[in-house]
Amino acid sequence: MRSKAMPPPTGAASGVPEIAGVAGQYLEKRPLPQLQPNFQCIWTSVLPVQHSSDIAVLPDGCVDIIWRADRLLVVGPDITAARPDLPPGAHVIGARFQPGAARHWLGLPLSEIVGQSVELADLQGSWAKGFANRMEDAQSPERRAQAFQEQLMQAPRPPAGPDRGASEIFRLAAMSMRDEGRTVTCMRKRLDISPRTLLRHCRDHFGYGPKTLERILRFQHFLSLARQDHNVGLVMLAMDAGYADQAHLAREVRALCGMTATALLHQVRH
């Protein structure tokens, strides 16, 4: 049942950050066909001009290329919520990689950029510098959004799509959320690889091991369920999302995003 208690406060005065995608305007759309093998969506986020709170970007098991504050960045995989420095009215454009596509596209193991935002030019050289110049020249949000996809299509020798093994790891992690103890065993059998090879492959393509990936995908499943039905309480949400109980959910929410489950649920359903 829905709680009748007063909702927990958010914003600068409360010290509780607002989660990305809730504050301001957030939109996702399918990429152009040429980009779809490597990117699952193109997104934009615009904060209100009067916005004054910190923003928390929740971990989702993904990697993005973003244009923010006249900088072209790669945002690596997060294990805990990121707190980007975003001024009021900030306009961000992003491209989210397909699971398993970022490692070859960027040319480095993702374990090297966990929890970091790095300049794309540090990884992709002159092409990325030209990309940034084109974005700076665009005079409107619409033109920047168009230039963003056009430049992504000019990337030097992008691979045809995600690594098959990494895609399977991601799929199995999402499917195994209710059977935490068997996740790694299931992955090893399906891919016919050793525990060490599985760990290395997972760190290369997702930045961390399979158990951490599973935790993050379970957390995202909880968020999805919470958005779908506003009348389901935390006890049932914990059960439906694959947690042992509400206390398990509460510990994971605190560890992954630094706030209580109640505060997070209020924002998701606001």
Q: What is the pLDDT of residue 2?
A: 34
Q: Which residues of the chain have pLDDT under 70?
A: 1-15, 176-181
Q: What is the pLDDT of residue 189?
A: 85
Nearest Cα to Cα of residue 71 among 57, 83, 54, 85: 85
Is residue 29 included in any domain, yes or no? yes
∠ at Cα 253 (66, 177), nearest 5°?
90
Q: What is the pLDDT of residue 161?
A: 87
Q: How many domains does the chain have?
A: 1
Helices marked H in the chain: 102-106, 120-137, 141-152, 164-175, 183-191, 195-206, 210-228, 234-241, 246-257, 261-268
Is residue 256 included in any domain, yes or no? no
Q: What is the pLDDT of residue 4?
A: 39
Q: What is the pLDDT of residue 6?
A: 44
Distance from C-alpha of 12 to C-alpha of 55, rounded to nearest angstrom:
10
Distance from C-alpha of 232 to C-alpha of 266, rounded to nearest angstrom:
12
Domain range for residue 40?
18-152
Distance from C-alpha of 179 to C-alpha of 181, rounded to nearest angstrom:
6
Is residue 263 included in any domain, yes or no? no
Is residue 105 included in any domain, yes or no? yes
Is residue 12 included in any domain, yes or no? no
Q: What is the pLDDT of residue 5?
A: 44
Is residue 133 included in any domain, yes or no? yes
Whole-model pTM: value is: 0.89
Q: What is the pLDDT of residue 45?
A: 94
Is residue 270 included in any domain, yes or no? no
Is residue 178 included in any domain, yes or no? no
Q: What is the pLDDT of residue 264?
A: 96
